[in-house]
Amino acid sequence: MDGYALGAGEGPWTLVGESRAGTPFPGSLGAGQCARISTGAIVPDGADRVLLQEDAGVEGGIVTATEYPPAGRHIRRRGFDFVEGTRLLTRGTRINAGRIALALSAGRGEVSVARRVTVAVLDSGDELAADPAHCLPHQIPASNGAMIAAMLAPLGCEVLRLGPVGDDMAALAGALERAKAADILITSGGASVGDHDLIKPALAAWGAETAFWKVAIKPGKPLLVATRGRQVILGLPGNPVSSFVTAFLFALPLVRAAQGDADPLPRSLTMPAGEALPAIGPRREFLRAVTDGGAVRLAGSQDSSALSALAAADCLIDRPAHAPAVPAGEPVRVFPLQNG
C-alpha cells in the first residue's frame, strides 16, 4: 500500500523522509513524524501503522489523515506467512509455480527433486497411418500415441515416441528393443483377443511377464499390465476413448508414483447430474461428460471411438458396476480432466 508510515500520535505528522521498496528509511520515526512509504518497502522503526495515500492530506511537509488507521493496518508482519523452522515442502510434493515461488521466498534457490521418469509410448496396428494427411481408405490416422504423449506432458516426464508400428512380430520386437531403457512402456492397441493382436505374444517373446490382463471397467476392459525387470508395461486398448480413459486412470497415476508423488491418484468430487443417467451393467463405467451450470451432463456419444465427445469432455462420471439409474439432480462422482 502506498502511503505514509506513521509515528506515534494522532496527527498531524511531519514528513521526514521516505522508505522505498529496496531502499529503506535510514532512521526511526519519533512521535509526530511520518515517512512516505511504497508497497513492498520496509516499515521504519517507530511506525506501527500505514496511512493510505488516498486518506492523506499533505501541505508544506505536514501530513493529516481524513481517516485515522488502527494499529497494524496495512503492515505485513515479519513471519506472518511462515517462520523459521516451518516445513514448507515435503517429500512427494509435486513442484508447481506456487511452490517454486514459496521455496524462493524462503531463501531456497535449489531443492532436491526426483529424477525425470522416461516413458516410451508405442501405438500399433496395420490400420494406422502415421501421416493423417495421407490416410488410405483402409487406414485411420494414428492418434493414440500423440494423445498419450500430450497427457504425459504436464507431468514433466521424458516421452519416447515409438509408433505407429504394424501388426508384425519383427517390427514390434524392434520397437520394444528401443523401449528397453524406459522406466515405463505404454502400448496402445493389439492387447485384445483378435488374431492380429500381437502385443501379448510380442511382450512374452521379449521377456516380459504379464501381471494381469483385463479389468472390469468400460471403456478399457482389455488393459494389460506386465513387467520386464524394473520396467512396468501398460498395454492400453486401441480404441481412442478406451486408450484415453485407461491412460487417465492407470498410466498417469503410475507415472506420478514413479516420480515419487505422495498422492498419485486422480482426484474426484461430487456434482449433481444435469440429466438422467441410465443403469450400469456388470462393469464400472467412466462416462465422458461436461460441467454445465454447477451440474454435469454427458458430452455426447459414449462409443469408445467417439473422439468428438472426448474432445468436448472436461470430466469423467464414475458409475459403479450394477448402479441403478440416476435421476437428474442426484449426486454423482466426477473426475475432473485436464483435457486442454
Tens-level pLDDT at each residue, the chain (340 residues): 899 999 999 999 999 999 999 999 999 999 999 999 999 999 999 999 999 999 999 999 999 999 999 999 999 998 999 999 999 999 999 999 999 999 999 999 999 999 999 999 999 988 888 888 888 888 888 899 999 999 999 999 999 999 899 989 999 999 999 999 999 999 999 776 666 678 999 999 999 999 999 999 999 999 999 999 999 999 999 999 999 999 999 999 999 999 999 999 999 999 999 999 999 999 999 999 999 999 999 999 999 889 999 999 999 999 999 999 999 999 999 999 975 4
Statement to judge: residues 129 and 241 lie in one domain: yes
Can you give the residue range of the structural domain that contains 244?
A: 118-258
The domain boundary, picked from 258, 291, 317, lies at 258
Per-residue pLDDT reduced to its tens digit, 215-234: 999 999 999 999 999 999 99
Q: How many residues does the chain have?
A: 340
User: What is the dihedral angle through the alpha carbons of 77, 81, 86, 87, rounded to the nearest 10 degrees?
Assistant: -170
Per-residue pLDDT reduced to its tens digit, 9-25: 999 999 999 999 999 99
Statement to judge: residues 329 and 201 lie in one domain: no
C-alpha angle 17/23/25, rounded to 5°? 30
217 in any annotated domain: yes
Residue partners of 221: CB distance under 8 A and separation at least 6: 214, 215, 237, 242, 283
Task: Round to whole Å and give the CA distance between 41 and 44.
Answer: 9
Task: Round to whole Å and give the CA distance between 323 and 187.
Answer: 31
Question: Phi, psi (5° rounding) for residue 161?
Answer: -85, 130
Query: What is the predicted pLDDT for the residue at 340?
Result: 40
Statement to judge: residues 300 and 198 lie in one domain: no
User: Strands (DSSP E) along 60-177, which ranges?
Assistant: 62-65, 118-123, 128-129, 140-141, 158-161
Statement to judge: residues 308 and 250 lie in one domain: no
Concatenate the DSSP letters of all residues of 59-91 into one string: ETTEEEESSPPPTTTT---TTSS--TT-----T
Q: In terms of DSSP bridges, do strands 284-292 and 315-319 run parallel, antiparallel, or are they unpaired?
A: antiparallel
